[in-house]
Structure 1
Amino acid sequence: MRPSRIRAALAVIAVAAVLTSVGGGTAQAWQGWPDPPAAQSPAPSLSSGTANHCLDPEGTDLNALLSIREQIVGPPACRVAVAMKPWVSAFPSWGTAADAAGAVYPAGYTPSLPKPMDDFILKFLGVRIVQDIGTPQEQSYSFGPEVLRLVVTEEGLPFATFASPALPGLTPSPHTSTVYFRMSFEHCDGAETSRTDDCLPAGESAYTGNTPFEVLKKQG
């Protein structure tokens, strides 16, 4: 399920989720992110100097919820980071139909495993995160399935959520982060029948646009 079409259910997930680690990584339960300008990202917690707190719209501390010590960059309210401090790239989750019985697929597609989420996990090879794409400062980081955790809502809907290992600190200036998925074979989510919105192609493909964020000098 493409990020733009995943319903905003973070409040439900944060309270009632069952998180299962896949590959021992850390991840975020965040869905359907818009891309507001980095300047709109609040930064009152940056001056604390001792703790990072990425808060969702309901006030849930995602660092505490997911045991991530580094500053999280990605959710709309977390688009500001402190210069030269490690940071974690978080990006929208991938949802599927709950089970094989309710799954529907585009014509010609057959999943490798009956349950759509099992099929996604089987085929998911990892991600490539490109920082400042298209600029002289461009950097690329590749990770495997350790970026993934599973989240199940109260309604039984499964989501694969994602967050990178800690990335090197950045210099003060505007930056962007762009995420590419790597899949061994085509995967479709079983939710609807659009290949554009409901499927991920084999190989590497863009998963997000260029997410803007701001890196500021440490205050105090």
Structure 2
Amino acid sequence: MKRARCLAAAAAAVVPSLLVAALGSAATAAPLPDPKPPVPHCVTPSDGDLNELFDVKDRIIGPAPCRETYAKAKWVRIAPGWGTAPSAAEAVYPAGYTPERPDPIDDFDSKFVSATYIHDLGTPQEQRFTYKKSRVLRTGLFGPDGRPYSIAISPPFKALDLGTHTTIVLFTLKAQHCDGLGTVEEENCLPAGTFEYTGNAPFEVVPKPTG
């Protein structure tokens, strides 16, 4: 009986010792590598890090410095933001134009219907995606100059094949909108209906770096 008790006591003493040793090893072990390293961010001289600014986790295709994505990786299309005069009191418009909402940015947001994204326009690989305002339009934003703006950011798109591709963005508005920043209709207004908001931008899909 004494021998059995001694063996039991010895075992009880060994278990905590093993736990302490194991915990100590875990505490000092090197952290495991991240299986999904973050994608390269879209950084522009004027706007800074767009991924951080708009909380986008995928690769951004948009401004000229951001025209490359990786094979087998999802990506997001960003169109230039639409800025307006800060308020109705500061707004000026082309002759004959009357906004439906007093503040120009509210007028734009209320007239925005959808954004259409066309990849590889005019090729056998052409794809079209149309998303309603609630899926793409970010509002309540302000630029460095203090002016309000809204921006359309697509949901993530599936990866495309390696090589050169193009992407163009169309907007649909339910009525004409003018930004309140000038009186030249061609420069300060967007038409009713569906129209090209961006050019047909080329971009590259390249192999993902290894190592």
TM range (shorter): 0.7 to 0.9
How many residues align? The count is 173
Residues 154, 70 of structure 1: alpha-carbon distance in 2 compared, 3 angstrom cutoff: closer
* Aligned match for 1:62, one of 47, 50, 54: 50
Partner letter of residue 188 of structure 1?
Answer: C
Identity %, equivalent residues: 44
TM-score by length of 2: 0.77
User: CA RMSD for the aligned pairs?
Assistant: 1.8
For 1:78, the equivalent position in structure 2 comes to 66
- 1 CA distance for matches of 2:148 and 2:106? 10
Taking structure 1 as the reference length, the TM-score comes to 0.74
- Preserved CA contact (<8 Å) 2:115 2:170: yes
Structure 1 residue 155 displacement after superposition = 4.0
Residue by residue over 1:81-101, the C-alpha shift from the partner in whole angstroms, topping out at 9 and shown as x without a partner, is 001211000111111111111
Structure 1 residue 56 displacement after superposition: 2.2
Bigger radius of gyration among the two: 2
- Structure 1 counterpart of 2:207: 217
Structure whose residues are more often helix by fraction = 2
Which 4+ residue blocks in structure 1 deviate beyond 2 angstroms?
A: 56-62, 153-156
Q: Which has the higher contact order (CA 8 A, sep 6+)?
A: 1
Q: How does 1:1-220 map to 2 (within 5 A)?
A: 50-52=37-39, 53-57=41-45, 60-145=48-133, 146-150=135-139, 151-153=141-143, 155-220=145-210
* Unpaired runs of at least 5, structure 2: 1-34
Take 1:111 and 1:184, find their aligned partners in 2: how far apart are those partners? 13
Q: Give the structure 1 partner of residue 32 of structure 2.
A: none
What is the distance in 2 between the residues matched to 1:70 and 1:154?
A: 25
Secondary structure in 2 aligned to 1:92?
A: coil
